[in-house]
Structure 1
Amino acid sequence: MSNEQAILKVGDWIKGTLLTGELIIGYVENLDNQGSAVKAKIVTSDNKTIEGRSLPLLNRQVNKIPDTHVKNKEQIQFLIDLALETGDQEWFLELTAKLNAMRELAEGVK
């Protein structure tokens, strides 16, 4: 098991390949007790019929997508849209707070 797979936790964004070959991107909803599998919400895939579904995956099928550091308003707005699409209220609130802080900072500079 690689380091990326060993440190998966709920909420992590992952990419991987299903046993049938489809590419997926999604996030971890649950981890099994043995640490060998995850349940992931599929956000996008080359198989459009599985988008939005939750699927069980083996840890060896997926890799964690590294965290990104948001640097501008457009990136935050894109991520807010993604948070809305995935129904992640906590992430949405975090991102809108960050966006509001950027706006306040910009207004203070004027």
Structure 2
Amino acid sequence: MNFEIGDWVMGHTGEGELVQGFVERVNVLQGTLGIHVVASDHEEAVGRAIDVRERGTKKMPEFAFDRAEPILSMIDLALMTHDEHWFNELSGKLRDIRSASGSAEEASNVPASVRNRLGTCSLR
């Protein structure tokens, strides 16, 4: 399978840990991928870059930008990784979705607090 930098992947490390993240580098000669881990069953791996074998890794399904909720989660991830370009891209898609669905009422129905993997955040 051909992997490119930026692909979202899921695989196992040499120690059998399940990791999910995005490809930061591809080493064709050694058959490895450098992955920035965003989720793992080994919590110490989250937020770190690790190498995994290409053959034990698969691409994750493409993300559909059709609802606001998943985009908000991706915006959280863009903020955590300090990726300004990705943040701006996601914010633009979120504006498009909200304007297309007439989300003035959707924005007013936002709960007083939101829970994400970083904790609870008060919106008011």
Report the TM range for the smaller structure's normalisation: 0.7 to 0.9
What residue is the counterpart of 2:88 in the other structure? Answer: 93
**Counterpart mapping for 1:50-69 below 5 A:** 50-69=45-64
**CA displacement at 1:107 relative to structure 2:** 6.5
Alpha-carbon distance in 2 for matches of 1:51, 1:85? 12
Structure 1: state its 5+ residue gaps: 1-5
**CA displacement at 1:19 relative to structure 2:** 1.4
* Distance of aligned partners of 1:107 and 1:58 in 2 relative to their CA distance in 1, 3 Å threshold: closer
Q: Give the length in aligned residue pairs.
A: 103
Contact in 2 for aligned 1:22/1:45 (Cα 8 Å): yes
SS in 1 for 2:21: strand
Q: Name the TM-score, length of structure 1 as normaliser.
A: 0.82
Larger RCO: 1 or 2 (CA < 8 Å, sep 6+) = 1
Runs of 4+ in 1 over 4 A off after TM superposition: none
In terms of fraction of residues, the more strand-rich structure is 2
Q: Name the TM-score, length of structure 2 as normaliser.
A: 0.73
* Aligned sequence identity (%): 33
SS in 1 for 2:3: coil
Query: How big is each residue's C-alpha offset from its partner over 1:6-65, in whole Å with a ceiling of 9 and x where there is no partner?
Result: 221000111111111111111100111437111111111111111111111110121110
**Counterpart mapping for 1:2-13 below 5 A:** 6-13=1-8
**Residue 29 of structure 1 is aligned with which of 18, 24, 41?**
24
Contact in 1 for aligned 2:8/2:23 (Cα 8 Å): yes
In terms of fraction of residues, the more helix-rich structure is 1
**Residue 78 of structure 1 is aligned with which of 73, 76, 79?**
73
Structure 2: state its 5+ residue gaps: 105-124
